[in-house]
Amino acid sequence: MLHAHHEHDNDPSPSLHLPDESATLAAGERLAGALPSRLTIYLRGDLGAGKTTLTRGLLRGLGFAGKVKSPTYTLVEPYKDSRITVYHFDFYRFTHADEFLEAGLDEYFEGDGIRLVEWPDRAHPYLCAADLEVELQLAADGGRQLALHALSTEGQRCLEKFTALPAKPSPNPPAC
C-alpha cells in the first residue's frame, strides 16, 4: 500500500516508500489521476530506479493498454491512445545538449500534453522548466523511495491532487 508522508513539517512534497514493482505501478496510476492537460515532469533517478515503470503505471492509469518501453534509443515515445497525449523522453544517450535542438524535440514542448522527461540535465539549457519533479531512488530494502516536488503553480495543483487521492492497495499483499 502507498503511504504518502512529508519528510519535513514545512515541506509540502510527499515522499512514498514503494516496496515493489506493483507499488511503483500503483504510484504512477495515482499520479495519472492528478494530471491536468499540460504538464512537464522531470523523472530523476539512477539507471534501474523505476522511471519507466512509474511511466507505465501512469499510462495504465490513463487507460493505455499497449506496450510501454523506454525511449532510450528513440528519444521520445508518444502515447496518444489515452485521455491525455503523453510524450515520454529519455535523454540518457545525449553526448551534448545541442542534440535536443538537432532532433527537433523542442516542438514537443509546445501546446497541450504531458511530457515525462528522463535525464533532463542532458538537454539543459534548451529544455523548458519542469512543473513537477519526480525522484526515484533505490531503497536499502530493495524497494524504491519516491519524492515529488512541485516547481510551478500547475505542478503544485497536481501535487495537491495527487496527495488527496486515495492510495490503491497493492494487488500482491505481502506474504506473512
Q: What does the pLDDT read at residue 12?
A: 54
Domain extent listing, the chain: 16-164
- Asked if residue 34 lies in contact with residue 161, where contact means CB atoms within 8 angstroms, the answer is yes
> Residue 170: which pLDDT band, with cuts at 50, 70 and 90?
low
Confidence of residue 176 (pLDDT cuts 50, 70, 90): very low
At residue 11, the pLDDT reads 47
Q: How far apart are the C-alpha atoms of 145 and 103, rounded to whole Å?
A: 33
Query: What class, spelled out in words, does domain 16-164 have in CATH?
Result: alpha beta
Q: Mind listing the pLDDT tens digit for each residue in 85-144?
A: 999 999 999 999 999 999 999 999 988 999 999 999 999 999 999 999 999 999 888 889
pTM score, whole prediction: 0.85
Bridge partners, residue 86, by sequence: 79, 114
- Other Cβ atoms closer than 10 A to 94: 16
Mean pLDDT of the chain: 86
